[in-house]
Amino acid sequence: MSSNPQQPPEIPQDMKAYNQKLIAEFRASGGKLSGPMQGREPMLLTTKGAKSGEERTVVVGFRAYGDGYAVIASNNGAPKSPAWFHNLLADPTATVEVGPQKFKVRARVARPEERPELARRIDYLERQQALTKREIPIVVLEKT
């Protein structure tokens, strides 16, 4: 795996196990990661499962946007959006962890007029968009 923050990390074979390890390390270290993720600053996003009602935490990249953040529902270029995106459509209230901070947010899909500016800010969107035919949603997370 690449340790250069400018290069995207390789996608692990068992993404769920990889993310569980990242989540544990993130929480234990106040957001500081080691190994291939050293120097990166991901976000932990906790949503309520649309079907199960159980809390689900995922690791996502983000960019600051206004008083909140913007994330992309790329699912590594898969044909379908990630489960967390569907969870937010069902219940837009979520919890975000950025570094040592933890707070509630309300999610919304970026408005069409916001998309060009957000696409410029999210430098990896174009690379992810090239992997799929669907338009990757941009989600705005606003602090509540």
Residue 30, classed as helix, strand or coil, is coil
Binned at pLDDT 50, 70 and 90, residue 18 comes out as confident
What value does the mean pLDDT of the chain take? Answer: 90
132: amino acid identity, one letter: T
H/E segment holding residue 83: helix 83-90
53: amino acid identity, one letter: G
Q: Specify the CATH number for the domain of residue 53.
A: 2.30.110.10
Residue 28: CB atoms within 10 Å: 9
Burial environment of residue 34 by CB neighbours within 10 A (0 to 12, 13 to 18, 19 or more) = exposed
Average pLDDT value for residue range 118-139: 96
Residue 7 lies in a domain: no
Residue 137 lies in a domain: yes
Q: Which two tokens stand for residue 59?
A: 């690791």
pLDDT of residue 6 exceeding 80: no
Query: Dihedral of the CA atoms 54, 57, 67, 112 (nearest 10)?
Result: -80
What's CA 115's distance to the chain center, in Å?
17
What's CA 111's distance to the chain center, in Å?
18
Taking only the tens place, the pLDDT of each residue in 31-62 is 888 887 877 889 999 999 999 999 999 999 99
What residues make up the domain containing 99?
Answer: 15-143
pLDDT of residue 41: 85
Residue 110: CB atoms within 10 Å: 18
Average pLDDT value for residue range 126-142: 96
Residue 4 lies in a domain: no
pLDDT of residue 118 exceeding 60: yes
Binned at pLDDT 50, 70 and 90, residue 107 comes out as very high
More confident site: 86 or 36: 86
What's the domain count of the chain? 1
Residue 44 lies in a domain: yes
Residues 50 and 87: beta-carbon distance below 8 Å: yes
